[in-house]
Amino acid sequence: MIHLAMKSLHDVKRQLAVFSENIGGLAAIEFAIILPLMLVTVFGTVGVTSLIAIDRKVTLIARTMSDLTSQSTAVTDDIINNQFFPIGDAMLTPYSAAKNPTSGGPLMAVITEVYVDKNTGVARVQWSRANAAGSSLVRSPGAPVDIPSNLIGKDATGKVLPNQYFIMSEVSYEYAPSILPGVVTRKLTETTYTRPRNTSVYACVLLNGQTACPTT
């Protein structure tokens, strides 16, 4: 019995010795298992962080575009194209506004003035301008636009108040993380509405020399 116990103990020691000699191989196996998880965690964190950062920037750009326009009594194509839209591009830094392999893109921005018909309550486009990337999204004058009903001013009887204009800013960005190029994309969008604020003479923001607020 004692002999059998000693033999078993000897076998255990021998197995431990063999195990210790191959511990390097065990470490390699563990590393091979853990490495993919580590990479997924690291790159996943980077991708999610970039997604959140760009989404926040898209929101700020939309608000800035409508805010800059609504502060003006009049604007021109030159001001919109060479001042307002470039500001939006700069706000996206350090991400590129152009289509790129690192974060996706491009940044698409549209600024539209909307008039609410006091008789029908229907909101229609008065003018619309877009940056180069968003040129296909320009809205046609007179086209109806859905805006939140709670933004439209009404009197105590529910009748729509006259002279209501809104500057509508639409911004979008196609996020595509570099760790999964062509596989994962997420379209980030934001729409902001702002009332023209310099309205001592005009209720709208005039475009390219207009002398009266349009009501198309």
Residue 216 within a domain: no
Q: Which domain holds residue 14?
A: 2-207
* Two structure tokens written together for 131: 């940056």
pLDDT in the model for residue 214: 86
> How many CA atoms lie less than 13 Å away from 205 in the CB half-sphere?
28
pLDDT in the model for residue 117: 94
pLDDT in the model for residue 48: 73
Q: Which residues have a Cβ under 8 Å from the Cβ of 178 and sit 6 or more positions away? A: 101, 102, 103
pLDDT in the model for residue 206: 95
Q: Which residues have a Cβ under 8 Å from the Cβ of 56 and sit 6 or more positions away? A: none
Please state the pTM of the whole predicted model.
0.79
Question: Which residue, 25, 107, 109, 79, is CA-closest to 208?
Answer: 79
Classify residue 101 by its DSSP letter.
T
Residue 215 within a domain: no
Give the Cβ contact number of residue 136 at 10 Å. 8
Residue 214 within a domain: no
Angstrom distance (rounded) from CA 211 to CA 202: 9
Angstrom distance (rounded) from CA 133 to CA 91: 16
Give the Cβ contact number of residue 110 at 10 Å. 23
pLDDT in tens, 30-87: 666 765 666 555 555 556 788 899 999 999 999 999 999 999 999 999 999 999 999 9
Give the Cβ contact number of residue 31 at 10 Å. 10
Strand spans (E) along the chain: 74-75, 104-116, 123-130, 144-145, 164-175, 186-194, 206-207
pLDDT in tens, the chain (216 residues): 555 445 555 655 565 555 555 555 556 666 667 656 665 555 555 567 888 999 999 999 999 999 999 999 999 999 999 999 999 999 999 999 999 888 889 999 999 999 999 999 999 999 999 999 999 999 999 999 999 999 999 999 999 999 999 999 999 999 988 766 655 688 999 999 999 988 777 799 999 999 999 887
Residue 212 within a domain: no
Q: What separation in angstroms does the CA of 46 have from each of 40, 55, 94, 98?
A: 10, 14, 14, 20
Angstrom distance (rounded) from CA 141 to CA 130: 14
How many structural domains comprise the chain?
A: 1
* Two structure tokens written together for 175: 């996020």
